[in-house]
Structures are given as structure tokens and as C-alpha cells.
Homo-oligomer: A and B are copies of this chain.
Amino acid sequence: MDSAVARERVLDAAEELFYGRGIQSVGMDDIRGASGVSLKRLYQLFPAKEQLVEAYLERRDGRWRGRLAEFVDLRPAPEERLLAVFDWLEEWFGEEGFRGCAWINSYGELGATSDRVATQVRAHKKAFGDYLASLVTAAGRPAALAGPLFLLAEGAMVTAGITRSTRPAAEAREAAGLLLDSR
């Protein structure tokens, strides 16, 4: 099996298991079982579990933001693009196996003990916030609007994860609309 293929399989297994059950409760042996890649190879690809965790978060970051941008790009009107973020959240929340925001969960689990994880979470959230800010300014709205919209989105992610409901997305979208109208 090609090294690149093995790497993908490992990352696929890691993402499903880490996201679904939490990081610390998944052992390297579980990853081996789910990926079909032997421990030896696994450790050649990722010399330690923490590096696999980082690779998991990093790949997921690219995909997550890519999917969001792709969805938003279907809308041409700047104002609509901004609200589309919340529509996408609703889609995401409704997906089978949705279990909240991977970065918020990872931060709760490892933020206090792993600087590298904490740094990656901050980077991801900053990138999401920056993206939101770019949509705000593209819509010709005051930059100060980005912060509150970000908080609404974060609150929706957390609440959707805990309550296993898609409703927070609609609430956040409505509130976002009101904020946009009020300025």
C-alpha cells in the first residue's frame, strides 16, 4: 500500500474516532483496527499520538473551512453571503454523527495540557473569525459587526453540540439578521 494512501486511511480513521469519541478515549490500537494500517507503519507516519492529533485537526481545518467557503460562494449578493454562513451551520448541525465543534471539544479536552493543540484551536478560530470579518466588510458593513456574529456562530456550535439540535443555527441566523438591520 502506498504511503500516501496509508496516511489518508489513518487520518480518516483518526478523524472518525477522535471526533466521535474524544481524543483521549481512542487508543492507537483503535486507529490501527479502524484504518487497517499496522502499528509499525502508523508510527512511521506519525511518530507519536500527539502528531496524529495535530494532523487530524489540521486536515479537518482545511476541509471545514473549504466546505463553508464553497457553500457561501454559491451566493453572489454580499449580504446573503454573510447570512449563508448560518445556513451552512444548520446543514452541518444536521449531519449524521454531528457532535459539536471539533476544536471546541479538543480544547476542552487538551487545551490545558497540550500547547500545540491549544495553538491550533486558536488558529482555527482566528481563521474563521477573519473569514467572517472579510464577509462583513465585503458587504460594506462596519467591521465591528464581525465580533458579535462570530459569537453567535460559536454559541450556536456549542449549543447544537450539547443539545443535539439544529435549532441554534436558525436562532443565530435570525439574530444576525436583526443585528444587520440595526446598523
Interfacial residues, chain A to chain B (CB-CB below 8 A) = 20-22, 24-25, 99-100, 104-113, 118, 121-122, 125, 147-148, 150-159, 161-163, 167-168, 171-172, 174-175, 178-179, 181-183
- Report if A108-B155 is in contact (Cβ < 8 Å); known contacts: A172-B148, A182-B181: no
- A163: chain B residues within 8 A (beta carbon): 122, 125
Bound form: Cα–Cα A18–B110 in Å: 12
Copies in the complex: 2
Q: Write 21 A-B pairs (CB below 8 A) sorted by A numbering.
A: A20-B112, A22-B110, A22-B111, A24-B24, A24-B109, A25-B113, A99-B112, A100-B111, A104-B158, A107-B161, A107-B162, A111-B162, A118-B162, A150-B155, A151-B151, A152-B152, A152-B175, A154-B154, A157-B158, A178-B178, A181-B182
- A148: chain B residues within 8 A (beta carbon): 152, 171-172, 174-175, 178
- A156: chain B residues within 8 A (beta carbon): 151, 155
A154, B158: Cβ atoms closer than 8 Å: yes
